[in-house]
């Protein structure tokens, strides 16, 4: 069974609408995540910069106990984890863990970037804290040489909670918008299919011999031209059929006259005999 044109184009419009909505939703969520991460990165970099002057003095005196105390003190104020790492990757101080029990951080990507004199950052799961963290590492240099790296980090559970909330809101509003767009797509599809349906019905009238029927000419140029062409075709066919019928009637009249004349001639000849 053939499908009506409406049900052929409507699913296409609906699928395109849903895909477009999904793409927009993903883009919004991704932009929020990027914006949040950039904001956190700037904040961590600023908080790390505030501790560098004090740490520089302690590094000169190699007072590791005071380095540990300073990390804990800054953490209690800023609620951000502070870690001080020497150029070999050894932990000199950490505000959340015992430095002596922590593994060497030489291979950490943000640390490697800081060793080159740049600010390093990365988002990954912490092996120590077992949760997803954002790390920002700032080099502490003296006379152009990196003598240590100060790293700040914070859990991004807030971001994950925010994204989960956004996911729920996106799903809720997406369902509402999808329903609205589905109705609009149906109306748009019907607007396209309706003139074609009328053309089909008009063609059925012509097929049944109703050549006096005229199609409604829609405002659309393409379909309007087609309707006008079909109307012109029907008018021409009707005129030709009328002409052929008139010629046939004339021929029948002439033939009847000839038959009647021949019959009378036959009757006259018979009477004379």
Q: What is the rounded average pLDDT of the residues 248-265? A: 72
Q: Three-state DSSP class for 14?
A: helix
The token pair that represents 23 in the structure block: 């793409």
Residue 197 in domain: no
9 and 137 part of one domain: yes
Selected residue with higher pLDDT from 5 and 45: 45
What percentage of the chain reaches a pLDDT higher than 90? Answer: 24
107 and 232 part of one domain: no
151 and 261 part of one domain: no
The token pair that represents 211 in the structure block: 């050549």
Mean of all residue pLDDT scores within the chain: 79
Q: What is the rounded average pLDDT of the residues 260-266? A: 69
Show the domain range for 58. 5-162
221 and 155 part of one domain: no
Residue 142 in domain: yes
Selected residue with higher pLDDT from 125 and 119: 119
Q: Provide CB contacts within 8 A for 52, sequence distance 6+.
A: 138, 140, 150
131 and 64 part of one domain: yes
Question: Counting runs of H as helices and runs of E as strands, what totals does the chain give?
Answer: 5, 5
Q: What is the rounded average pLDDT of the residues 43-63? A: 87
Residue 214 in domain: yes
Q: What is the rounded average pLDDT of the residues 168-173? A: 81
143 and 257 part of one domain: no
Residue 138 in domain: yes
116 and 46 part of one domain: yes
147 and 229 part of one domain: no
Residue 9 in domain: yes
Q: Residue 106 in contact with residue 134, Cβ under 8 Å?
A: no
Residue 119 in domain: yes
CATH number assigned to the domain comprising residue 19: 3.30.450.20
Q: Structural domain tally of the chain?
A: 2
Final residue of a domain: which of 95, 129, 162? 162
* Confidence (pTM): 0.58
Final residue of a domain: which of 106, 131, 162? 162
């Amino acid at each position: 069974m053939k499908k009506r044109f409406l049900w052929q184009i409507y699913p296409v419009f609906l699928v395109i609408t849903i895909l477009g909505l999904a793409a927009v939703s993903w883009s919004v969520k991704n932009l929020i995540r990027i914006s949040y991460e950039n904001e956190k990165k700037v904040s961590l970099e600023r908080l790390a910069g505030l501790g560098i002057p004090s740490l520089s003095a302690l590094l000169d005196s190699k007072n590791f106990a005071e380095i540990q105390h300073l990390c804990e003190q800054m953490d209690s104020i800023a609620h951000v984890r502070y870690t001080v790492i020497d150029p070999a990757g050894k932990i000199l101080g950490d505000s959340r863990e015992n430095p002596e029990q922590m593994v060497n951080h030489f291979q950490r990507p943000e640390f490697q970037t800081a060793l080159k004199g740049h600010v390093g950052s990365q988002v990954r799961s912490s092996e120590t804290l077992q949760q997803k963290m954002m790390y920002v590492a700032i080099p502490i240099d003296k006379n152009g040489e990196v003598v240590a790296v100060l790293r700040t980090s914070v859990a991004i559970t807030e971001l994950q909670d925010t994204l989960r909330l956004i996911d729920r809101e996106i799903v809720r509003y997406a369902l509402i918008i999808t329903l609205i767009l589905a109705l609009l797509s149906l109306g748009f599809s019907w607007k396209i299919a309706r003139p074609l349906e009328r053309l089909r019905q008009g063609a059925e009238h012509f097929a049944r011999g109703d050549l006096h029927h005229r199609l409604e000419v829609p405002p659309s140029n393409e379909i309007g031209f087609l309707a006008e062409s079909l109307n012109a075709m029907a008018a021409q066919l009707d005129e030709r059929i009328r002409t052929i019928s008139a010629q046939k009637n004339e021929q029948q009249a002439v033939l009847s006259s000839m038959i009647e004349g021949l019959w009378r001639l036959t009757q006259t000849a018979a009477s004379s005999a």
